[in-house]
Structure 1
């Protein structure tokens, strides 16, 4: 069972990290996340994250005709998004290290 609140907090950073690798579109992001173990993730969860990241200035979007059909939105990370990702990674590392100690999961 996956805690949805915990997932929501981590997902934004993971989506941003995928986009930071290279300009990409929604379905490709979803595939990458699924391949990484986010198997219960669906479009209804991911697209609101993309909207929130764009609204907060972390990513930008451009539209282009897809070779396979309708217009596709391509996302890329802004300077503010790169800064946000760096801060997220630092916070995530600190929080998980502390949690491992409390939960007695030290290696």
Structure 2
């Protein structure tokens, strides 16, 4: 089954959640996502989501020097980003509860 459409709809909450506890730069964010089991997410999708969330004001950026190469652009949640993440989490929990209920309802016939 192609889960890409489902993941595409969840990309905002996934990326924001990964940045909720700790800022990160692109490659590091991808690594955290892979570690969390999101191997199906394409690099371009994640980078595009970071840019979109930044343009929406949910993320801010800053540059840090790197000892192992070029400077890195770090992403950090803004206060509107934290609020958006809370709203998305509430929506996710609501939908998740309803879906669990639907799957627990016995089939007729």
Give the TM-score normalised by the residue count of structure 1: 0.90
How many residues were matched structurally?
Answer: 105
Superposition pairs of residues 57-76 of structure 1, within 5 angstroms: 57-76=57-76
Residue of structure 1 equivalent to 2:24: 24
CA RMSD of aligned residues (A): 1.4
- Whether 1:33 and 2:20 are equivalent positions in the alignment is no
Residues 34-43 or 71-80, more deviating? 34-43
Q: Contact 2:4/2:40 (CA < 8 Å) preserved in 1?
A: no
Uncovered stretches (5+) of structure 1, i.e. residues with no partner: none
Q: CA deviation at 1:79?
A: 0.3
Give the TM-score normalised by the residue count of structure 2: 0.88
- Give the distance between the partners of 1:2 and 1:54, measured in 2 at CA: 28
- Give the distance between the partners of 2:90 and 2:2, measured in 1 at CA: 23
Residues 54-63 or 33-42, more deviating? 33-42
- Which of structures 1 and 2 has the bigger CA Rg? 2
